[in-house]
Amino acid sequence: MSETIFSKIIKREIPASILYEDDLALAFRDVNPQAPVHFLVIPKKPIVKLSEATIEDQALLGHLLLVASKVAAQEGLTDFRLVTNNGVAAGQSVFHLHIHVLGDRTFTWPPG
C-alpha cells in the first residue's frame, strides 16, 4: 500500500484532531465534515479498502466498530450513521480503510 494522508496522520507527520487512539486504531475529526459531528475511525494496519480485508482482520474490523461506538458516546451521540466507501465508484477517495461516523443531525434514506 502506498503512503496516504491517513498513514501520515498515524505517524504524526500531518496534524489531526485526534479523539481516540489505541494500539490498533485511531479516531480523528474529519477535515471536511458532512454533519455537526463527523469523525473517522481507521485501523493502524494498512488495509486499502474493506473488500481487501482478510479473515485475519476479523477481530480488527470488530474493534473498529466498537471504537466508533465508544467515540460516538464520548461525543454525546446516541444516534449516528456509519459509512464505509469501498472503491472509487462508491466515493472512496483515501485508499486506507476508514469508517465515517456522522451525527447530530437527521439523515435521510436512501443516502446517495
- Domain ranges (residues) in the chain: 5-103
Q: Is the pLDDT score of 11 beyond 90?
A: yes
CA distance 19 to 21: 7
pTM (2 d.p.) = 0.95
What backbone phi and psi angles, to 5 degrees, belong to 51? -65, -10
Question: Active-site positions?
Answer: 98
Q: How many CA atoms lie within 13 A of 87 on its CB side?
A: 4
pLDDT attached to residue 96: 97
Contact between 103 and 80 under an 8 Å Cβ cutoff? The reply is yes
Label residue 1 by pLDDT band (50, 70, 90).
low
- Pick 5-103's CATH classification: 3.30.428.10, 3.20.20.80, 3.40.50.300, 1.10.10.10: 3.30.428.10
